[in-house]
Amino acid sequence: MPDIFTPEWYDAMLELANSRDDLSDKVPQGEWRVAIEIEGDGISPYTPEGEFKYFYVYMVDGKIKELNPCEEKITVKGLNYRISGPASVFESMAAGLMDPIEKGLDGTLTIRGDMRVMMQNADLANIIFDVFKSSDLTDWPKGMPPYDKQSC
């Protein structure tokens, strides 16, 4: 599997998500736009402290059409959600070590957008996070969380 945060990795994620029928069943019809913002926190070796990684997810009728890294803060019109948080937390979730709901509840992850739709489609959130945390999704060239010292 590709290294995390490489173009191949984004493609692989997209494919994996689109292969899950439960996902396309649960996503409300129509267009959905989500921005993810990852802030370097000095722990993660992938995003230098103070810098950001952005990626953009665009879904239509339950299928992901785009899943791309972006250079700058995503300001597309009609964005439905923006999810932001520290890099090590995102990576820990990808590694299956942290629970996104818990991180949302304690404020480590911030979610902007209409939570009502999210609640009405509570299963969906679980599935997406499930996809995201499939740890077999990636190779971790610089080591995976909790990052043993040597690999950093």
Partner 1 sequence: MENTKYDAIIIGAGHNGMALATYLGKSGWKVLVLERRLEEGGGLCTEQYTRVEFNHNLHSNYHTFVGLCPVYDDLELVGGRDGVSYAHPPVQMGSIFEDGTAMTIHTDMKKTHASMSRFSKKDADTFQRLYKEVKGFQDLMIGTLMYAPPIDVNDITKALSIWKVEDKTEFFRARLRSISINDFLDKHFEHDKIKAMLAFHASICGYFTDVVGLAISFPFMLGKIDNWRLCLGGAHRLAHTLWRKMRRYDITLRMASPVQKILVENGKAVGVQTYDDQEFYADKLVASSIDLGQTFNDMLPEDAAIPKEIQLEIDNYQYQDGSFFSVHMAMDKIPTYKAAEFDPDINNAWVLNLGFERLEDFNQDWEDIRNKKVPANPKLNVAVNSMFDSTDAPDGKATGLIRVWVPYDVDGKGPGTWNTSFKDVYTNRCILKMEKYCDNFTRDDIIQAKPYTPLDISEKLVNMVNGDWMMGKISEENLMGNRPSPLMSQYKTPIDGLYLCGSTTHPHGFITFGPAYNALKAIAEDFGMDRWWEEI
Q: Which residues bind partner 1 (CB under 8 A)?
A: 35, 79-82, 99, 101-102, 104-108, 110-116, 118-120, 122-123, 125-126
CB of 107 vs partner 1, minimal distance in Å: 4
Nearer to partner 1, 19 or 110 (CB): 110
Nearer to partner 1, 53 or 103 (CB): 103
**Rg (Cα) of the chain, in Å, rounded?**
15
Instruction: Kindly compute the dihedral angle of the four CA atoms of residues 87, 85, 35, 7, in this order, to the nearest 10 degrees.
Output: 10
Q: Are 72 and 54 in contact (CB under 8 A)?
A: yes
> In angstroms, rounded to a whole number, what is the distance separating the alpha carbons of residues 48 and 21?
36
CB of 108 vs partner 1, minimal distance in Å: 8
CB of 129 vs partner 1, minimal distance in Å: 10
CB of 152 vs partner 1, minimal distance in Å: 28
∠ CA 24-30-32, rounded to 5°:
80
Nearer to partner 1, 24 or 108 (CB): 108
CB of 79 vs partner 1, minimal distance in Å: 5
Nearer to partner 1, 122 or 152 (CB): 122
How many CB atoms sit inside 10 A of residue 127's CB? 18
Nearer to partner 1, 75 or 150 (CB): 75
What is 57-104 written as a DSSP string?
A: EEEETTEEEEEEEESS----TT--EEEEEEHHHHHHHHTT-S-HHHHH
